[in-house]
Each structure stands twice: as structure tokens, then as C-alpha cells.
Amino acid sequence: MSLIVIGSVALDSVETPHGQREEILGGSASYFSTVASYFTKVKLVAVVGEDFPEEHVAFLKDRGVDLEGLRKSKGRTFRWKGRYGENLNEAQTLETQLNVLETFNPELPASYTDAPYVFLANIDPELQGKVLDQVKAPKFIACDTMNYWITGKPAALREILQRIDCLVVNDGEARQLSGETNITRAAKKIRAMGPKQVIIKRGEYGALVFGEETFAAPAFPLEEVKDPTGAGDSFAGGFMGYLASTGRNDHEAVRAAAVMGSVTASFAVEEFSLDRLKRLSRPDIDGRYEAFRRLVRF
Ligand code: AMP
């Protein structure tokens, strides 16, 4: 079943203990749609500026991502600059330039409006709301956000929480949103704000799914993490892509989808930008999924 995503398409400048890169392809929707394209038909809603390199558009097109909803506007592309220290689980934002995102008014192409699966990737919650207004009969809606929007647009974010099925955030964001330091209590408080399910990502410690029941998906143990940027979006891409490919959203399917999210996130962090995802194949994904079975069997 088809899946639509709204999010950022960005030029990132990133510094990690493994090196530094300037103006590389990034953005929540870029990671998400690339990963999800290995599972299902993905329809992208996003905006870039006139300075956005054509090769990145060509790459997404090659991946089979539907780009009818990708707008090119006058001005500069959204830019994010971040740094990771030895603790690779937490990004330090050095600079956020909204640029063309500031005036973006997403209008869904007619072919997008009956998508059953919707992912509201990290972007202004007001834009997330505008997209939701235009989807006719969504079956499953999941959403991501970050500190920038939790503090910058709290009212709009609260409204979104009442309209979604599942929130996917990292532990720092869950604590900030709920005001609770304990993760289990944080999840309970967030569920009381609207979403039936909350997935809390904990970097190298894996992800916890809080819903009717609680499920833990470990992170795949890697010897080297070069750049954690996009791990969350790649988790979400595997999670939603898998669910959309099965047409399900029951708890058993959500468990398998969370493991698939851990698998896809583990590839994203092996190299800078989307470099590893560009060389990914479905057998790579399925092979690591099987390795997960052995990892957690007891
Ligand atoms: P992740 O590491 O999965 O949480 O997401 C990283 C991506 O989020 C980067 O590629 C950034 O371009 C993007 N990003 C950072 N800040 C924002 C923001 N305020 N709004 C939308 N996207 C952002």
C-alpha cells in the first residue's frame, strides 16, 4: 500500500569523531523516503530551493520515489549544521536555516490524497497538520519531531498529537515533551496526549515500543558508527515501509516493523549522509533482519 511522507530535504554540514562533511544530502524526508522505497511506493511532499543539486533529485527518482509533491521554490534549500561528540546518541545542533521551509505551503497532488499510510517526518508541525488536512482516509499515521519544534511550536505539536496513531521520537525528545525523566513514565504521559503508540529510540540501545503491550527492539551491534545523522528517519522509513508493504498495523506487525526499523537505521549510520543507503539492496536488508532473529532468540 502507498505511503506519503512530508519532511525536510536538506543540505547538512556534519561533524563526527570520524570526520567532517559540508553541504551533503540530508533531511528527514530524504532518509525516510530512500529507506521506505525498498519496501513500498513512497510519495514525497517537500520543498527545496533553486540551489538544490539536480543529482540528489535524480537519485530519489532512481529509487522510485514519487516526486510529484516535491516543490522547487525561489530561495535557498533548508540547511542544518550539527556535531556529535564521543556520545554519538546525541546531536548538537549548531545552526538551523529554514530558508524555503519558512514559506512552504504543502499542496498534495490528487494522486497522493488517498494514501493509507502517512508519515509526518520531522518538520514544522503546522506543515504536518496541513498535509493531514488533505489526506482523505488514512489508515495509520505516524509522526516524528525534535527539540526545535517541541520548544518552538508547542501548541501546533499538541494538536498533531491528537490526530496521529504513533509518535516516533528519541529519548531526549520524549523527556522534553513529557517533562518526565523516566522513559516508561514519559511514554505513558505522551500516550495520554493522543497517540495510542509511542516508539522511543535510544540510539545504540535500541528502541522501545509502548502500546497495548511493550516491545523492545535492540540496535544492531556495529563496530563503527561514522555518522548517526538520519538514524531516526531511517528507522521510521523501515518501520513504516514494512507496515505499508504488509497493509497491517496490528501489534504483531508493529513488532516486526520495529525490528525492520532497527535494521535500516543500522545501515544509515555506517557512512556519512545517505552514502550507505545508496548502495543498499533488499538482500542486504533481509540478511540483517535474519541476523536479528539470532541476536534476540533465547
Ligand atoms: P535524525 O538524525 O534522524 O534525527 O534526523 C537528521 C535530519 O534531520 C538531518 O538530515 C537534518 O537535515 C534534519 N533536521 C534537523 N533539524 C531539523 C528541523 N528543525 N526541521 C526539519 N528537519 C531537521
In tens, the pLDDT along 33-43 reads 999 999 999 99
Rounded to an integer, the average pLDDT of 99-105 is: 97
In the reported structure, the alpha carbon of residue 293 is separated from the centroid of ligand 1 by a whole-number distance in angstroms of: 30
Q: Is the CB of 99 under 6 A from ligand 1?
A: no
How does residue 278 score in pLDDT terms, banded at 50, 70 and 90?
Answer: very high
Closest Cα to atom 20 of ligand 1: 123
Mutational test site, ligand 1, from 21, 80, 168, max ligand atoms within 8 Å of CB: 80
**Cβ of 59: how many Cβ atoms within 10 Å?**
17
Give the separation between CA 90 and CA 227, rounded to whole angstroms. 11
| Residues 217, 220, 225, 227, CA torsion sign | negative
Q: What are residue 43's phi and psi, to 5 degrees?
A: -110, 120
- Measured in Å, residue 10 CA sits from the centre of ligand 1 at 8
Residue with cell 504521559: 189
pLDDT computed for residue 222 by the predictor:
95
User: Which are the contacts of 27, defined by CB distance < 8 A and separation ≥ 6?
Assistant: 7, 8, 9, 10, 12, 46, 78, 80
289 pLDDT above the threshold of 90? yes
Per-residue pLDDT, averaged over 19-32, amounts to: 98
Give the number of the atom of ligand 1 that is nearest the alpha carbon of residue 229: 2
Does residue 124 line the site of ligand 1, with CB under 6 A? no
Give the Cα separation of 14 and 56 in Å (integer).
18
- Residue 188 DSSP SS3: helix
DSSP code of residue 218: P
Residue that is written with C-alpha cell 502500546 in the block:
211
Probe residue for ligand 1, chosen from 5, 21, 28 as the CB with the greatest number of ligand atoms within 8 Å:
28
Residue with cell 506487525: 253
Determine whether the shortest distance from the Cβ of 123 to ligand 1 is under 6 A: yes
DSSP run (H or E) holding 175: helix 171-178
Q: Give percent helix, percent strand, percent coil of the chain, each to the nearest 5.
A: 40, 25, 35
Q: Is 238 in the pocket of ligand 1 (CB under 6 A)?
A: no
CA–CA distance, 2 with 228 (Å, rounded to integer): 28
CA 243 to centroid of chain Cα atoms: 14
Residue 265 pLDDT grade (very low, low, confident, very high; cuts 50, 70, 90):
very high
Predicted local distance difference test score (pLDDT) of residue 10: 98
Per-residue pLDDT tens over the stretch 223-240: 999 999 999 999 999 999
Nearest CA, atom 1, ligand 1: 230
> What pLDDT, on the 0 to 100 scale, is given for residue 87?
85
Query: With contact defined as beta carbons under 8 Å apart, do 214 and 186 qualify?
Result: no
Q: How confident is the model at residue 188 (pLDDT cuts 50, 70, 90)?
A: very high
Decide: 172 in ligand 1 pocket, CB within 6 A: no
Contact of 274 with 227, CB cutoff 8 Å: no
With a 6 Å cutoff on the Cβ, whether 96 touches ligand 1 is yes
Cell representation of residue 94: 549548531
Q: Is the CB of 148 under 6 A from ligand 1?
A: yes
Closest atom, ligand 1, to C-alpha of 149: 19
Side chain identity at residue 137, one-letter code = A
Q: In DSSP terms, which residues pair with 5 in a beta bridge?
A: 44, 119
Average model confidence (pLDDT) across the chain: 97
- The residue-averaged pLDDT of 113-121 equals 98
CB 9 within 8 Å of CB 52: yes
Which of the listed residues 6, 8, 31 should we mutate to test ligand 1's pocket, taking the one with most ligand atoms within 8 A of CB?
A: 8
Q: Hey, whose CA ends up nearest to atom 6 of ligand 1?
A: 230
Element (H, E) at 43: strand 42-49
Q: Is the pLDDT reported for residue 275 higher than 90?
A: yes
User: What's residue 298's pLDDT?
Assistant: 86
User: Does the predicted TM-score (pTM) go above 0.85?
Assistant: yes
pLDDT at 153: 98
| Chain segment 54-97, per-residue pLDDT in tens | 999 999 999 999 999 999 999 999 999 999 998 888 899 999 99
